[in-house]
Amino acid sequence: MNEAQYIWMDGTLVPWADAKVHVLTHTLHYGNAVFEGTRAYQTQKGLAIFKLEEHTKRLYNSAKIVAIEPNIDYESVKNAHIELLEANHFSQNVYLRPLIYLGYGQMGIYHKKVPVNTMIAAWEWGAYLGADGLEKGITTCTSSITRNPNRSTFGKAKAAANYLNSQMAKYEAIENGFDEALMLDENGFIAEGTGECVFIVRDGKLISPPNDNSLESITQATVLELAKDMGIVVERRNITRDEVYIADECFLTGTAAEVTPVASLDHRVIGSGSRGPVTEKLQSAYFDVVYGRNPKYEHYLTYIQK
């Protein structure tokens, strides 16, 4: 773990080692919390958070969905991301993890009267699926775990409880020798990765499933915007695992995973088995945006003044 100096807890900057909770913290037992995964990049004008507004909005939407009343208002939490990065000393790219959780004070499943807490941590974190993965692509398998069905859980929320599924799918994939898992929805269509949305390229068209069975991904939206700029034809429709096998290219998008090519699925090599030309173009455009090299999208960046 790349420790930093401070973690923001309920309005206070706390030294990293002191940022602790009680063992009877409600979320530890029943799993209800909401969080974000946000990145800040070292641009030519210094560290900048990518799409802070979008991430904060999704955090508060997630809280609404799982019936948690945040203890701190939207603007204060948004600004706390900036305050935290100003207080810490980072020389690399940074991952930010805000979490609104149910704290200490009352046990039992009914959560309405449990105190709510908010924290934000930030630490230096490189490529989630490896620097090599960004260039050469990763191996994937179809998970035996179905993506959380909409009848049981809330897929529009980035809720901690949703990640038991992702964690089990990721565990199974890694233990079986793959880098990542693709989960199917209840109808057998590709839903999402354990922390990413899925794209394929077929005959020059870019295809990504609708968000009915995936998180409304902020990276996916950025890539779709960039594809539009490039005049790439985009389709939002269901895809099956065998369509991925025969696709020309496949890649995953996520704040952590960025734009990561998929080299194979279930031992079927996809296209050339490496990063395809459309993936490369979109990946390069994505990095231009997050590193502040594309003025058209600079409004997505929140620069940290030191």
Ligand X SMILES: Cc1ncc(COP(=O)(O)O)c(C=O)c1O
> How many chain residues interact with ligand X (CB under 6 A)?
15
218 counts as binding ligand X under rule CB under 6 A: yes
CB of residue 93 vs ligand X: minimum separation in angstroms?
15
Tokens 């699925």 sit on residue: 265
CB of residue 148 vs ligand X: minimum separation in angstroms?
9
217 counts as binding ligand X under rule CB under 6 A: yes
8 versus 199: smaller Cβ distance to ligand X: 199
Cα separation values, 255 from 5, 150, 197, 215, 222, Å: 23, 23, 10, 12, 10
> CA–CA separation, 257 vs 128, rounded Å?
5
Q: In the numeric block, which tokens belong to residue 160?
A: 């901690």
Question: For ligand X, which stretch binds (CB under 6 A), given 108-116, 126-134, 249-257, 269-277?
Answer: 249-257
214 counts as binding ligand X under rule CB under 6 A: yes
148 counts as binding ligand X under rule CB under 6 A: no
Question: For ligand X, which stretch binds (CB under 6 A), given 6-14, 26-34, 100-108, 253-261?
Answer: 253-261
**Are residues 304 and 85 in contact, defined by beta-carbon separation less than 8 angstroms?**
yes
CB of residue 300 vs ligand X: minimum separation in angstroms?
13
CB of residue 175 vs ligand X: minimum separation in angstroms?
19
> CA–CA separation, 163 vs 161, rounded Å?
5
Catalytic residue among 158, 170, 281, 306: 158
Give how far the C-alpha of residue 34 lies from the chain's centroid of Cα atoms, to the nearest Å: 13
Question: For ligand X, which stretch binds (CB under 6 A), given 4-12, 70-78, 117-125, 212-220?
Answer: 212-220
62 versus 117: smaller Cβ distance to ligand X: 62
192 counts as binding ligand X under rule CB under 6 A: yes
> CA–CA separation, 3 vs 95, rounded Å?
12
CB of residue 253 vs ligand X: minimum separation in angstroms?
6
Kindly tell me which residue out of 253, 279, 283, 302 binds ligand X, with binding defined by CB under 6 A. Answer: 253
71 versus 294: smaller Cβ distance to ligand X: 294
**Are residues 305 and 83 in contact, defined by beta-carbon separation less than 8 angstroms?**
no
196 counts as binding ligand X under rule CB under 6 A: yes
CB of residue 107 vs ligand X: minimum separation in angstroms?
28
Kindly tell me which residue out of 98, 103, 195, 292 binds ligand X, with binding defined by CB under 6 A. Answer: 195
Kindly tell me which residue out of 197, 198, 226, 263 binds ligand X, with binding defined by CB under 6 A. Answer: 197
The single-letter code of the amino acid at 1 is: M
Kindly tell me which residue out of 59, 200, 215, 227 binds ligand X, with binding defined by CB under 6 A. Answer: 215
158 counts as catalytic: yes
Just list the catalytic residues: 158
Site residues (vs ligand X, CB under 6 A): 37, 166, 192, 195-197, 214-215, 217-220, 253-255
